[in-house]
Structures are given as structure tokens and as C-alpha cells.
Amino acid sequence: MYSDQHVTMLISETQLKTRVQEMAQEMTRDFQGKELTVVAVLKGALVFCSDLIRSMDLPLEMEVLGVSSYPTGAETTGEARLTFDLTKPLAGKHLLLVEDIVDTGLTVDFLKKTFEARQPASIRVCALLHKPSRTRVQVPIDYMGFSVEDHFLVGYGLDYEERYRNLPFIGVLNLG
Ligand code: IMP
């Protein structure tokens, strides 16, 4: 198994699997009979989203989108930008935004506002992880995997300078 002296395991592969299945079951109930579009936010949510949809027992469409993190200094204004947009109109669709982690909340806040303008039937937010102590903008998280302390996390899609996305668990990165 891949290991690294700088990473300490926080959430195991088994814990992830169990929680992702629970979330998928809840979504299967909630979106029954609805035109569902699941949107994975690149790149961090890809691993989580691919496990999630395989446990969702209902018809759905999947899309991906890219969003730039705010350039240095812009965090205070919450300025973000779509770098890769959806391929289909959202009007009348039930949208499920899938994020890896809600940290300050600025990204999800930006995405919700952007997609509300496209008049979907509904927008729900799903985040595998939430760091409540870092909140700058309150955003409703309809489906949340784990609430975590303010550590820098890697693995299961999350990166540090593009590395560690392929770890099967979530770990704390210690670069000291
Ligand atoms: P926001 O601050 O809620 O807008 O989060 C923006 C993005 O920062 C998230 O979607 C993640 O891609 C990234 N991010 C925040 N915290 C972490 C972390 O602990 N590890 C890796 N990426 C993170």
C-alpha cells in the first residue's frame, strides 16, 4: 500500500466506503423520480463522486465543472471563475453539486449563485468534508460526509500541489 512519511491517516478506506454508501442511499431516496444531474467539481471531487454515483440506485446524468480558486489576495472578495463549464442546459433539472471539501465556503457559494441563474428545478450541495472552523460564508450543505478540524488534508481526490490524489484514504499532511 502507498505510504508516505508526511501523511497521517485520518479517515480510513473502510470508513469512507461506509459513509459514501450511506450518503448514496439517502440520495437514492431523495431523488427518486426526478431528473437528476450530478456535477463533480474538478479535480478534487472526482474520486468521491465516482464512488458515490456507483452506489446510487437511480437514473442520473453526470457532468464535471472546473472552477478556479481565487487568485492570491482575492479570497476576501470571494472572486472565483468557471474554467470548465457544463455541457448541457440546467433548466428543469435537479442539480446535485458534489464537492470534495467545503473550507471557507467561497467556492460553493459562487457555484450556487452561478447555477441558480440557470433556473434548475433545485440545487443541492454535497461535500465529503467540511471544516466548520474555517467558514467565511455560510452555505447549506445538504449531504455532508465528515466534519473535520482545521488540518490540511490529502488523499481520496484531495491534493497538495497535485500529489496524493490517489491515496485510498484521507490523511493529514505534515510538512514540518
Ligand atoms: P473553499 O475555501 O470552501 O472555497 O474551498 C476551496 C477548495 O480548496 C476546495 O474545493 C479544495 O479543492 C481546496 N481545499 C480546501 N481545504 C483543503 C485541504 O485541506 N486539502 C486539499 N484541498 C483543500
Known catalytic residue at 103: yes
pLDDT for residue 74 is more than 70: no
pLDDT, averaged across the chain: 93
pLDDT score of 176: 75
3-state secondary structure of 59: coil
| Rounded Cα distance, 144 and 35, in Å | 22
pTM of the shown model: 0.94
3-state secondary structure of 55: coil
Nearest CA to ligand 1 atom 22: 158
Burial of 13 (0-12, 13-18, 19+ CB in 10 A): middle
What tens digit of pLDDT does each residue of 78-114 get?
678 999 999 999 999 999 999 999 999 999 999 999 9
pLDDT score of 79: 73
Segment 67-79 shows an average pLDDT of: 65
- Please, which residues have CB within 8 angstroms of residue 152's CB and are 6 or more apart in sequence? 160, 172, 173
| Rounded Cα distance, 141 and 130, in Å | 9
Probe residue for ligand 1, chosen from 42, 70, 103 as the CB with the greatest number of ligand atoms within 8 Å:
103
Nearest atom in ligand 1 to the alpha carbon of residue 152 is: 19
Probe residue for ligand 1, chosen from 47, 81, 82, 100 as the CB with the greatest number of ligand atoms within 8 Å:
100
Residues with CB under 6 A from ligand 1: 44, 69, 99-107, 152-153, 158
Across the strands, what pairs with 95? Answer: 37, 123
pLDDT for residue 2 is more than 70: no
pLDDT for residue 68 is more than 60: yes
